[in-house]
């Protein structure tokens, strides 16, 4: 019995030490576990963020590069093969080129897909750019139109909207060979709707809406290819997720200018199976439509933004 009582202090000492160990070691373990968990979550977030960034970058980088040299040759050959376009562009007319161009019709078409762009995020960077001041002095525009009616009556040198055809051709040629870039609006890369926007801005001082779908909402509807006139906007369904996904400018003789994802800024023909079958319709911009786009505002530097290099 005496021996038992002698061992009690040692027994309580062990208990005390055990409790003390639990009190010190357990919280440390909890803190370490929490820190490890936080570190793991942070690491996952970083990886997820990096993955999203790479995914977004990939949506642009994986778009197949366009052949601008071939696009430039095709555009010039189409112009030289058409008597009226050759005259407007001041180049030699060569009808023999039609046979050469006919061989390439079945390979012409868009290569941009939904997988390439993964939605319309490419336009986010340029949202609001339609506010750029490209408005023309409407009274000046109307005076020019009346002058044209007096001097050029019966001639077919202007579009239904009063824009000089030669000016449109000159501006198109100025952009031919420019690389295609989804969401692009400059000389380093441009997409289809930005191209039509720039051509109309440079040719008439009018600012079209930014996207093909928005441009499809303006103008007088032209349903059939046979009814199209020089200067009409032509629209195509080239992607599944977006009905109106491509736009160009009609030049006559089944030809139209556009920023092609295959060839960059070039000319193509409705004799191509791809463009003939994907054609949605056209829109004709009359004087009234051009006036509505400008809202009657005046601005002396109306073409400054359209001359972006």
pLDDT tens digit sequence for 20-51: 555 555 555 544 555 555 555 455 554 554 44
Reported confidence tier of residue 130, pLDDT bands at 50, 70, 90 = very low
Show the domain range for 48: 1-61
**Is the pLDDT confidence value at 268 over 70?**
yes
Considering the domain architecture, whether residues 40 and 140 belong to the same structural domain is answered as no
| Per-position b or e across 163-196, b if 16+ CB within 10 A of its CB | bbbebbbebbbebbbbbbbbbbbeeebbbbbbbb
Do 184 and 237 belong together in one domain? yes
Look up the pTM and report it.
0.68
- CATH code for the domain in which residue 238 is found: 3.90.1720.10
Average pLDDT score, the chain: 74
Q: In which band, very low, low, confident or very high, does the pLDDT at 64 lie, cut at 50, 70 and 90?
A: low
Is 181 in the same domain as 35? no
Where does a domain end: 38, 61, 84?
61
Place of tokens 């050029």: 152
Last residue of a domain, one of 18, 43, 61: 61
Are residues 264 and 162 part of one domain?
yes
- Looking at the fold, whether 171 and 54 belong to one and the same domain comes out as no
The answer to whether residues 128 and 44 belong to one domain is: no
56 and 73 assigned to the same domain? no
Other CB atoms within 10 Å distance of the CB of residue 9: 8
CB 247, CB 196: distance < 8 Å: yes
**21 with 79, same domain?**
no
Same structural domain for residues 18 and 130? no
Check whether residue 180 and residue 269 sit in a common domain: yes
* CA-angle at 212, arms to 211 and 218, nearest 5°: 100
* Number of domains within the chain: 2
Residue 309 confidence (pLDDT) above 90: no
- pLDDT (tens digit, 9 = 90+) per residue, 163-195? 999 999 999 999 999 999 999 999 999 999 999
Q: Are 247 and 256 in contact (CB under 8 A)?
A: no
Residues 9 and 29 in one domain: yes
Point out the domain boundary residue: 36, 61, 86. 61
Looking at the annotation, which residues are catalytic?
192, 246, 258
**194 and 96 within one domain:** yes
**pLDDT tens-digit series, residues 203-237:** 999 999 999 999 999 999 999 999 999 999 999 99
């Amino acid at each position: 019995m005496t021996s038992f009582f002698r061992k009690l202090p040692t027994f309580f000492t062990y208990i005390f030490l055990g409790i003390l160990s639990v009190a010190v070691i357990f919280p440390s373990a909890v803190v370490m576990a929490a820190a490890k968990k936080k570190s793991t979550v942070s690491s996952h977030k970083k990886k997820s963020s990096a993955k999203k960034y790479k995914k977004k970058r990939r949506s642009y980088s994986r778009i197949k590069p366009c052949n601008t040299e071939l696009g430039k040759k095709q555009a010039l050959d189409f112009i030289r093969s058409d008597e009226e376009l050759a005259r407007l562009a001041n180049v030699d007319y060569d009808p023999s080129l039609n046979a050469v161009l006919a061989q390439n019709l079945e390979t012409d078409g868009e290569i941009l897909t939904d997988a390439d762009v993964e939605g319309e995020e490419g336009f986010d960077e340029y949202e609001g750019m339609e506010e750029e001041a490209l408005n023309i002095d409407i009274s000046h525009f109307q005076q020019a139109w009346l002058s044209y009616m007096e001097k050029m009556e019966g001639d077919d040198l202007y579009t239904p909207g009063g824009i000089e055809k030669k000016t449109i051709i000159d501006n198109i040629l100025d952009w031919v060979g420019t690389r295609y870039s989804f969401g692009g609006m400059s000389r380093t890369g441009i997409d289809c709707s930005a191209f039509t926007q720039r051509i109309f801005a440079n040719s008439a001082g009018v600012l079209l809406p930014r996207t093909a779908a928005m441009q499809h909402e303006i103008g007088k509807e032209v349903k059939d290819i046979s009814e199209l006139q020089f200067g009409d906007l032509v629209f195509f369904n080239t992607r599944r997720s977006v009905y109106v996904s491509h736009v160009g400018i009609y030049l006559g003789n089944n030809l139209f200018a556009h920023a092609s994802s295959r060839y960059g800024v070039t000319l193509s023909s409705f004799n191509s199976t791809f463009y003939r079958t994907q054609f949605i319709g056209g829109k004709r911009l009359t004087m009234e439509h051009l006036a509505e786009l400008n809202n009657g505002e005046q601005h002396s530097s109306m073409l400054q933004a359209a001359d972006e290099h």
